[in-house]
Amino acid sequence: MSSIKTMLRLAEQLDRNGRLTRAGSDNLVRTVAAAKREAAKLGCDDLMAFATSAVREAGNSAAVLQRVRKETGVDLKVLSGSDEARYTFLAVRRWFGWSAGRLLVVDIGGGSLELATGMDEDPELAFSVPLGAGRLTRTRFRHDPPTQREIKATRDWLTEELAEVARVLRKSGAPDRAVASSKTFRTLARLTGAAPSSAGPRVSRVLTDSGLRQLTAFISRMSAADLAELEGVSASRSHQLVAGALVAEAAMRALSLPQLEICPWALREGVILRRLDQTDGDDHTVSDPGGAAATNGSGPDAGQEQGHNTGRMGQHGARWNQ
């Protein structure tokens, strides 16, 4: 197995009109081309290329995707917000297993926040809201570090933005296990005392609400350069750490969660797992006997998805929805 990562931060490269800048588009093309070359070197037979909220919501999304396809030969699949939440939920379910019971999954990305809950592998409810750490850093903060006025205003605004989504999620029932995924949550947990990545993925890690509040009060007074000096904080992400902490804090408060368990698997693993579920063991895809989870929510703006479990099992342990 090989892992190569490039930080694009596309959510921070949108102009005032919500269009991906030329520089952002250039970076995307270069990165996709480099990934394609690396995949070829590694003998990869099945290239899965997908984009998330920054490309999905860019005003010039179609033109950007066309350029990527023309210059690299790669057809980027743009995931919907509910798909992001569903795939992440699948990854968490596979990691913790059926004994985890009802899961509530929270994931903070650069452009959006995903929340999902359910008893099966496809969540009963899946939401994607435009509250990513990169997006908030770009739109809510004008100073480094943010002023206390900016912190308070953002905290109050997040409470309002999450109120309805949290109400619906709470109504679905209390989770047996509340889980967080994504690099943002892993970093926050590390800074509050969780084991470092060197301890391995199977070490139990948690983020508590009290620990997060104390951490937020501390890091909100530090510049991005100073944050980058903290253990476990990368220089490429340090500038958006405060925004990520505020989103995490707001989500836990809105959902009345005293703690979140940290899952090492997230969206990428969910996409891979679903792809494996759809193959017959050779190099081609079999048809999904039940189809994807039916969308039954209030449309793409709400980012909500509901599914009905049939109880049938896919080849790799997936339960199909219809």
Q: Are strands 309-313 and 125-129 parallel, antiparallel or unpaired?
A: unpaired
Q: Which residues contact 203 (CB under 8 A, 6 or more apart)?
A: 195
* pLDDT given at position 35: 93
Q: Are 259 and 206 in contact (CB under 8 A)?
A: yes
Quote the CA–CA distance of 122 and 177 in Å, as a whole number.
16
* Fold topology of 81-267: Nucleotidyltransferase; domain 5 (3.30.420)
Matching fold, domains 10-78 and 81-267: yes
Amino acid in position 51: A
Contacts of 70 (CB under 8 A, 6+ apart): none
The contacts of residue 187 (CB under 8 Å, 6+ apart) are 232, 233, 237, 241, 244
- The tokens for 297 are 């929510």
Q: Where would I find the H helices in the chain? A: 22-41, 53-57, 61-72, 81-96, 133-140, 148-171, 183-191, 209-219, 224-227, 241-254, 267-277
β-strands 206-208, 77-78 pairing: unpaired
Question: What pLDDT was estimated at residue 183?
Answer: 94
User: Is 20 buried (19+), middle (13-18) or exposed (0-12) by CB count in 10 A?
Assistant: buried
**Cα–Cα distance for residue pair 230/245, rounded to 1 Å:** 15
For residue 137, give every residue at least 6 positions away whose Cβ sits within 8 Å of its Cβ, in sequence order, or none: 12, 239, 240, 242, 243
Supply the pTM of this predicted model: 0.84
Residue ranges covered by each domain of the chain:
10-78, 81-267
Cα torsion 81, 83, 88, 93 to 10°: value is 140
What is the full per-residue pLDDT of the chain (322 aa) written as tens digits? 788 888 888 888 888 898 999 999 999 999 999 999 999 999 988 888 999 988 998 999 999 999 999 999 999 999 999 999 999 999 999 999 999 999 999 999 999 999 999 999 999 999 999 999 999 999 999 999 999 999 999 999 999 999 999 999 999 999 999 999 999 999 999 999 999 999 999 999 999 999 999 999 999 999 999 999 999 999 989 999 999 999 999 999 999 999 999 999 999 999 999 999 987 555 444 333 333 333 333 333 344 444 434 333 343 444 333 3
Query: How many residues comprise the chain?
Result: 322
Check residue 291 and give its pLDDT: 35
Q: Coil, helix or strand for 118? A: strand
pLDDT value, residue 218: 97
Domain 10-78 class?
A: alpha beta
| Other Cβ atoms closer than 10 A to 95 | 20
Do 117 and 174 touch, CB atoms closer than 8 A? no
The tokens for 195 are 């084991």
